[in-house]
Amino acid sequence: MRLTRRTRLAGVAMIAAASLTLAACGGGSDSEGGSGGGSGDNVITVYGTNPQNPLIPTATNEVGGGDPLNNLFSGLTAYNSDGSTVNEVAESIEPNDDKTLWTVKLKPWKFTDGTDVTAESFVKAWNYGANAANKQLNNYFFYPIEGTDDNGNTLDDATEISGLKVIDPTSFTIKLKKPESDFPLRLGYSAYFPVPDAAYDSSGKITKAYGERPIGNGPYQLTKSGWERNKQIAMEPNPDYTGSHKPENKGLVFKFYAGGGTDAAYTDVQSNNLDVLDQVPPSALKTFEKDSKINAFNEAGSNFSSFTIPERLKHFSGEEGQLRRAAISMAINRKLITEKIFNNTRTPATDFTSPVLDGWTKDVPGNEVLQYNADEAKKKWAEADAISKWDGSFQLAFNNDGAGNKEFADAVTNQISTVLGIDSSPKPYPTFDELRKEVTDRTIKTAFRTGWQADYPSMLNYLGPIYATKAGSNDGDYSNKQFDNLISEASSAEGDARYDLISQAQTLLLTDLPAVPLWYQNATAATSKDLKGFEFNWQQKPDYYKLTK
């Protein structure tokens, strides 16, 4: 064939098209093969998202990496489904008389690379996490230990936490800044997991390779394929595991959903391509409990939602502020919102903690301020007006990238403006970090959405870190000496006396309302029909080791 101008052109076009197609094929073969999700073999597939940080206990602070880590590692203590703890790697954790010095003795225990879990494995990992130079996002968790600042970083850029002392290979001591009788409750959290020697390079840094493929000491270990980026994390039971969470299944696969799409995951549960989805998408909330293709779970959970009105806002300080906060709180019909907007997947709050915790009661004195009462609200608002006349508008800031936030902010401000007859509107921020930046830098000029996800199952964890003077998460800069004292007394008390003190502290909060409690978020889940053993723990997660099918 004669090569005409036109056929040459077609040739160029073909080459260009072919190179695009080739590029496609070349990459495509990478993602073939490997163990898919799928059923059979008693391997449980679980909803997950690609971890945002390396898989290092002190570096991982989000669920995408946190859920896998909790199965790959064992801490000194482990959490039972009911929120109580048992000693896991620890043989014993004993306090001194004033509960500031804790002595930990270890059981014989091994990492999956065959090396021993020693006192050094814990202390070195914690020192690493607390040292700001290592940029670990979980450093905050070390703040109760002596030798750290309020953010949990070591003092004066030290490389070690001065409150930790290794006695011998199987025991060490932890010195706390303040007495704390429930300290062992903290120690099951992922930030306190041990790390083996193999993780560190010669300069003492945890290596990149370790963050990709961690060696743990928990109920599970990574399979050969392990963490496949943007695809899944696969794990199998650790044959040498001797702790209390012995896997009853043959392994877990955390299947990642692109962009975190829970809608696609829900569809997969319906068609039996996925076994566990631990958060039901907003689109299915109305119907999931009646869906015959899945098993549905819906229980009060450990996440607490509120909004904070900082003391520094005009009209919200002193006695006037107290009256106005109470008026606003009583203007909100929590029951109506949880029913109509959240389809009963939230439970109206009656205190500042969570009903899943030991010692929780729905009868905290003073909590009638959390009940809808339009008349009383108007009265209090008028009393506040007598002190100083209200002007301006009441705005509530929220981040628009979280499901349901807009709806609740609309409803709350609408109720406030109807009941109190003032101008009130929601103020959207596009993303969570844009809102947090203004909150953290204290430049925000409105009320804002707040909430708490517990670090360990104790009511004190819902109070001290948020409302104590100068506490790390005290976004509203609340300060009340009496409250501080009650919390520190409760920290060293035990049994009923302790719950009494906590109740008193909460009553103070109900008067001052540094944050206005809204509701407890329910834990919701959808599982495939043939999955057994699903039960929520205090972290609103299933006990993965109990799942079978």
Partner 1 sequence: MWWYVGKRLLQTIPVFLGATLILFILLKLRPGDPILNLAGNKPVSQEVRDALAAQYHLDDPLFVQWLQFAKNAITLNFGETFAGQPVFDLIKQTFPVTVVLAVMALAIDAILGITLGTIAGLRRNGWFDSSALVVSLLLLSVPIFVVGFVMQLVFGVKLGWVEPTVGPDWNIGKLLLPAIVLAIANFAYTIRLTRTSVAENLTADHVRTARAKGLSNGLVVRRHVLRNSLVPVVTYIGINLGSLMAGAIITETIFNIPGIGNAAYTAIQKGETSTVVAIVTFMVLVYVLMSLLVDLIYAVLDPRIRYV
Which residues, 209 to 248, sit near partner 1 by CB under 8 A?
211-212, 228-232
Q: Which segment (97-105, 233-241, 319-327, 435-443) binds partner 1 by CB under 8 A?
A: 435-443
**Nearest-approach distance from CB 51 to partner 1, in angstroms:** 6
Helix (H) or strand (E) holding 382: helix 374-387
Comparing CB distances to partner 1, the nearer of 63 and 501 is: 63
Ranges within 166-185 binding partner 1 (CB under 8 A): none
Tokens of 181: 């009788």
Instruction: Work out whether 149 is an interface residue with partner 1 (CB under 8 A).
Output: yes
Tokens of 116: 């021993």
Q: Which segment (101-109, 149-157, 176-184, 521-529) binds partner 1 by CB under 8 A?
A: 149-157
Q: What are 306's strand-pairing partners?
A: 450, 517
Tokens of 287: 């119907």
Q: How many CB atoms lie within 10 A of CB 508?
A: 16
Q: Do residues 84 and 293 lie in contact, with contact meaning Cβ atoms separated by under 8 Å?
A: no
Distance CA 203, CA 489 (A): 43
Tokens of 293: 């293709």
Interacting residue with partner 1 among 18, 258, 336, 382 (CB under 8 A): 258
Instruction: Work out whether 159 is an interface residue with partner 1 (CB under 8 A).
Output: no
**Nearest-approach distance from CB 330 to partner 1, in angstroms:** 27
Comparing CB distances to partner 1, the nearer of 260 and 359 is: 260
Ranges within 276-335 binding partner 1 (CB under 8 A): 293
Instruction: Work out whether 39 is an interface residue with partner 1 (CB under 8 A).
Output: no
| Residues contacting 348, CB < 8 A, separation 6+ | 334, 335, 338, 370, 518, 519
Ranges within 129-148 binding partner 1 (CB under 8 A): 132-133, 135-140
Instruction: Work out whether 260 is an interface residue with partner 1 (CB under 8 A).
Output: yes
Q: How many CB atoms lie within 10 A of CB 283?
A: 12
Ranges within 394-413 binding partner 1 (CB under 8 A): 401
Number of residues that bind partner 1 (CB under 8 A): 83
Please tell me the total number of residues recorded for the chain in this structure: 549
Comparing CB distances to partner 1, the nearer of 122 and 257 is: 257
Residue type, 265: A
Which of 192, 188, 185 has its CA nearest to residue 78?
A: 188
The number of C-alpha atoms within 13 Å of 276 and in the hemisphere containing its C-beta is 26
Ranges within 474-533 binding partner 1 (CB under 8 A): none
Instruction: Work out whether 362 is an interface residue with partner 1 (CB under 8 A).
Output: no
Comparing CB distances to partner 1, the nearer of 242 and 271 is: 271
Ranges within 193-212 binding partner 1 (CB under 8 A): 208, 211-212
Interacting residue with partner 1 among 2, 3, 27, 239 (CB under 8 A): 27
Q: Do residues 278 and 542 lie in contact, with contact meaning Cβ atoms separated by under 8 Å?
A: yes
Instruction: Work out whether 393 is an interface residue with partner 1 (CB under 8 A).
Output: no
Tokens of 204: 């003492």
Q: What does DSSP say about strands 90-95 and 85-87: parallel, antiparallel, or unpaired?
A: unpaired
Comparing CB distances to partner 1, the nearer of 288 and 390 is: 288
Ranges within 455-484 binding partner 1 (CB under 8 A): 472-473
| Residues contacting 83, CB < 8 A, separation 6+ | 356, 357, 358, 457, 537, 538
Q: Which segment (235-243, 428-436, 481-489, 491-499) binds partner 1 by CB under 8 A?
A: 428-436
Interacting residue with partner 1 among 1, 3, 12, 386 (CB under 8 A): 12
Distance CA 137, CA 493 (A): 31
Comparing CB distances to partner 1, the nearer of 136 and 528 is: 136
Tokens of 284: 């299915």
**Nearest-approach distance from CB 399 to partner 1, in angstroms:** 10
Q: Give, as one character, the DSSP assignment of residue 548.
A: B
